[in-house]
Structure 1
Amino acid sequence: MSHHPAPISARPTTPRWRRRGTKPLAAVGLSALLLTACAAPGTNPAAGPSESTAAASKEKEAGAPTPRLVYTYDGGIAVVDAKTLEPVGNNAELEGFNRLNPAGDGRHVLVSTGDAFRVFDAGAWTEPHGDHSHHYVADPQLTELKFEASKAGHVVRHADKTVLFSDGSGKVETFESSALSAAAEEGKLPATDVYTTAEAHHGVAVELEDGKLLITLGNEEGRTGIAVLEAGKGQARKEIVRNEDCPGVHGEAVAAGEAVVVGCENGMLIYKDGAITKVASPDAYGRMGNQAGSEKSPVILGDYKVDKAATLERPTRISLVNTETAKLQLVDLGASYSFRSLGRGPAGEALVLGTDGALRVIDPLSGTVTSTIPVVGAWEESETWQDPRPTLFVQGSTAFVTEPATQSLHAVDLKTGKVTKSAKLEHVPNELTGVQG
Structure 2
Amino acid sequence: MNRIRNKGVPAAAAALSLGLLLTGCADGGKGAGKGENDKKPTSASKPHGYVAGAEEAAEQQSRLVLGDAGSGAVTVLDLIDEETTSLGRMDKRAELVTDGRFAYANSGSGSRVFDSGAWMVDHGDHVHYYLAKTRRVGAVDGAAVAHVYSSPSLTAFTFSGGTARLVDHAQMEKGRLKPVATLEDAQRGPVVPLEGDVLVPVAGPSGDTVVEVRDRKGVKRTVLDEKCPELGPAAVTRSGVVFGCADGALFVTERKGKPRAEKIPFDQKVAENERPEAFHHRSLGSTLTAKAGEKGVWVLNVAKRDWKLIETGPVVAVNSAGEGTPLLTLDASGTLTAYETADGEKIASKDILSGAPRAKDANRSVIEVDASRAYVNDVAAKKVYEIDYNDGLRKARSFSVDISPSSMVETGR
Give the structure-1-normalised TM-score. 0.67
**What is the CA–CA distance in structure 1 between the aligned matches of 2:264 and 2:56, rounded to whole Å?**
50
User: In structure 2, do the counterparts of structure 1 residues 348 and 342 end up closer, same or farther at CA, with 3 Å as the change threshold?
Assistant: farther
Match of 2:159 in 1: 166
User: In structure 2, do the counterparts of structure 1 residues 246 and 369 end up closer, same or farther at CA, with 3 Å as the change threshold?
Assistant: farther
Contact in 1 for aligned 2:339/2:346 (Cα 8 Å): yes
Structure 2: segments with no counterpart, 5+ residues: 1-13, 16-24, 43-52, 122-127, 254-259
Match of 1:70 in 2: 65
Match of 1:214 in 2: 199
Letter in 2 for 1:333: T
> Does residue 1:321 correspond to 2:300, yes or no?
yes
1:100 equivalent among 92, 96, 116: 96
User: In structure 2, do the counterparts of structure 1 residues 413 and 84 end up closer, same or farther at CA, with 3 Å as the change threshold?
Assistant: farther
User: In structure 2, do the counterparts of structure 1 residues 199 and 159 end up closer, same or farther at CA, with 3 Å as the change threshold?
Assistant: closer
Deviation at 1:432, TM superposition (A): 0.2
**What is the CA–CA distance in structure 1 between the aligned matches of 2:58 and 2:307, rounded to whole Å?**
46
Match of 1:233 in 2: 216
2:374 equivalent among 395, 399, 405: 399
Letter in 2 for 1:114: G
2:251 equivalent among 271, 280, 301: 271
Contact in 2 for aligned 1:398/1:413 (Cα 8 Å): yes
Letter in 1 for 2:250: I
1:287 equivalent among 275, 289, 294: 275
Deviation at 1:400, TM superposition (A): 0.8
CA deviation string 1:238-289 (max 9, x = no partner) = 3322566523x3211245653x33234x442222462342624524423211
Match of 1:303 in 2: 291
Letter in 1 for 2:292: Y
Structure 1: segments with no counterpart, 5+ residues: 8-26, 43-55, 128-132, 306-314
Match of 1:13 in 2: none
Deviation at 1:390, TM superposition (A): 2.3
Match of 1:345 in 2: 321
Letter in 1 for 2:290: G
**What is the CA–CA distance in structure 2 between the aligned matches of 1:169 and 1:243, rounded to whole Å?**
22
Paired residues, number:
361
Contact in 2 for aligned 1:412/1:420 (Cα 8 Å): yes
CA deviation string 1:160-201 (max 9, x = no partner) = 64332222242141433x5532x21xxx33x55425152546
2:242 equivalent among 256, 261, 270: 261
**What is the CA–CA distance in structure 2 between the aligned matches of 1:28 and 1:322, rounded to whole Å?**
39
**What is the CA–CA distance in structure 2 between the aligned matches of 1:291 and 1:368, rounded to whole Å?**
22
Match of 2:395 in 1: 419
For residues 8-87 of structure 1, the aligned pairs below 5 Å read: 29-30=27-28, 38-40=38-40, 66-73=61-68, 74-75=70-71, 76-83=73-80, 85-86=82-83
CA deviation string 1:332-386 (max 9, x = no partner) = 114x212xx122216563332233433333443444444445422563673x6x9
Contact in 1 for aligned 2:76/2:87 (Cα 8 Å): yes
Contact in 1 for aligned 2:287/2:323 (Cα 8 Å): no
**What is the CA–CA distance in structure 2 between the aligned matches of 1:302 and 1:346, rounded to whole Å?**
13
> Does residue 1:251 correspond to 2:251, yes or no?
no
User: In structure 2, do the counterparts of structure 1 residues 89 and 292 end up closer, same or farther at CA, with 3 Å as the change threshold?
Assistant: closer
Contact in 2 for aligned 1:254/1:294 (Cα 8 Å): no
Match of 2:185 in 1: 198
Identity of aligned pairs, percent?
16
User: In structure 2, do the counterparts of structure 1 residues 255 and 125 end up closer, same or farther at CA, with 3 Å as the change threshold?
Assistant: closer
User: In structure 2, do the counterparts of structure 1 residues 421 and 433 end up closer, same or farther at CA, with 3 Å as the change threshold?
Assistant: same
Q: Give the secondary-structure state (helix, strand or coil) at the position aligned to 1:180.
A: helix
Contact in 2 for aligned 1:163/1:174 (Cα 8 Å): yes
1:333 equivalent among 312, 315, 324: 312
Match of 1:14 in 2: none
Give the structure-2-normalised TM-score. 0.70
